Structure 1
Amino acid sequence: MIIIFTARNSIGETFTITKMNVERMKQEERLFCKSCASPVMIKAGQIKIPHFAHEKTMKCAFASEGESEEHLAAKRQMMAWFCYQGLPVELESYFPEINRQADIFVNGKTVIEFQRSSVPISEMIQRTMDYLSLGLEVHWILGQTLKKDKGRICLSAFQQAFIQFDQKLGYHFWHYSVEHENCTLYYHLTFEKGNRFFASEMPFSMKVSFSEWKKKIARIITRHAYVKRDREFERQKICFYYAKFKKHGQFMQKLYNAGYYLHYLPKEIGVDLEEQFLVMTPAIEWQFDLWDNFFKGLEKGDTFSGECFLESFQSVVTQIQTIWLSPNENLKLGKAYISYLISKGVLAEIPENRYRVKRKMTFTNNRVGQI
């Protein structure tokens, strides 16, 4: 069954069906889909929430076919909250100029997209660009269940696509729970390892006003979290992982062909920094490639520019796909690695955004020599 919540009557008036106005809707002689203009009928049983449905022979690309009950309920709950704020709101508003239908359209200027199922990230980016082309504000809210483990949240590649950046909130995203009818802001995200992050949480009830939400957000204090790391132990785990699961992979083959042994790589290669989540390329792989393509040709006392380094950095990493982060967001990881090498005495910063090699990175086994 194809489900919609909004329809038009024969004179073009738009209606959103609810439990409160079902009887009023039944008084309309004919009702039509806003998107495809096909006739629709009212469905208002005892179990499912009231909705409109196309005739069985009709197909509409913008109807809520395949949407879960949770997704449909989320749209209704959010619509009720915006109505509580006294704001005009529409469900499933269709924009013919871009051939798009928004989950929720608020105050004639803001699109709210609630995403529960995993779809290609490129599709969400394109939808966002289409809405922006009309001068609309766009907000994406994640609806998938979040996995939590020992005080960390585990975010899949799809879930990481919702991450945004703000000077005060740091890396953050919004999540909505249909079951609890609340919205949660996860902010000050700090990468630990793999897909695990530390994060602060701030829940917002859908039964209080938006002004109360803003007051809570205003009380957030900018901070930078510190993650204690045992670099030696991390290196042992990386070596074990590659030896067991990646021993026939391209990276291990590259090391073998070049005559290098994973366990003996310099301790400055394989460092998981807090910005590591910004790229899909594992730290030990891009840091080795960066050495191979860039640092290997430098001697003690040589200098180089920050621009030259970052150009080489970007050539060895693949950035994650996100809806909002800048295409150059991964440069933060490159700059963080520079800062790390400075802290370890490998590099020194000199004027005009340049750096000098203080010492070469060395293998942990003296027989291999320096790199």
Structure 2
Amino acid sequence: MAENDRDIAVLGAGMHPWGKWGRNFVEYGLVAARAALADAGVNHLDVGYIAGADTIRNGYPGFVAGATFAQALGWSGARISSSYAACASGAQAIANARAQILAGLTDVALVVGADTTPKGFFQPVGGERRDDPDWLRFHLLGATNPIYFALYARRRMALHGATLDDFAAVKVKNARHGLNNPYARYRKEVSAEEIAASAIVSDPLRLLDICATSDGGAALVLTSMDYARKHGIADPVRIKALSTVTPTFPKTVIDLPDFATDSAMAVPAPDLTFRSSMAHAAYEEAGLGPQDLSMAEVYDLSTALELDWYEDIGLCEAGGAEDLLRSGATALGGRVPVNPSGGLACFGEAIPAQAIAQICELTWQLRGQADGRQVEGARTGIAVNQGLFGHGSATIVTR
């Protein structure tokens, strides 16, 4: 793959296994950071920039994650930043580190995200803040996260004829992918019958259609291409493009509240959906397209949402996701495996870590180090995430 002046190298990737450990999130981030530094062969004293992805459920240290991880590693004088972008927080932290490297302000950056999560599904944060869009989403609209996922599922069924069997097939596939991932929380095959027998959480989605909330951590060591070459790595894995776009949503026609996500009543639909615009921006920056992908890591909050992502990142036309899934193209051994890591189906959500973990997986895949789940001949991958209230991300990684 030809190099351009926006490429940066991924020299190190590290993770703390996902689970429900009940310990301080800093511990998970520290394990992941040290693993990434060891993988890169870099001493933390040589890191010029530390980008932390924030966790807002873990007190003040979570709000200043960059400083928290810098202190845990040992103060070194590095520049720091802390980013919150809901489920795209990790991608925003990567974007900050990348910008510092491309600006020539540092040659080596460390990106870290980690989380400790409460039992059950996520609730609004911030207490009784009735002007807070997250509070309004839950209390005024009644749109808890599982309901939000279920509305998307119902939309697929109505528009494209998706069935419960299709949703189950996504979970079966991802569970099989995650079997050999040592960092995954759930490492067990699941049958369609088990999915159908699991409790209905928000119709039509069953418990096994929806990802869990998890503890975990992930980290990356990113460097300039010159630094990588000087350290004897002639052909590193590289981040070729990263988009962190916002929706196309003209608010001048009608002033809808910030918790509203559908402007169809006010203005014509944009040419690209929010999620497809993320991927489009990254493809344009990289000079690549969906036809160049070897694999994809997508944000499967639910089985139905994974099907939407197939279309959003251009693997098929609108309405074609079910046929693509049924063909086996998105399974290991298929044309473009999706979530070879096992995805959130096997990991669950550790919000600030998950976008970073996706890049860890793509890095190991492109190096040929994904034992038991390796995508043969992998050369290019995309990772996509969507955070609520206008946070989107798509990252293209190549070898």
Task: Answer 1 or 2: higher relative contact order, Cα 8 Å, separation at least 6.
Answer: 2
Does the TM-score normalized on the shorter chain lie above 0.5?
Answer: no
Tell which structure's C-alpha radius of gyration is larger: 1
TM-score w.r.t. length of structure 2: 0.22
Identify, as 1 or 2, the structure richer in helix. Answer: 2
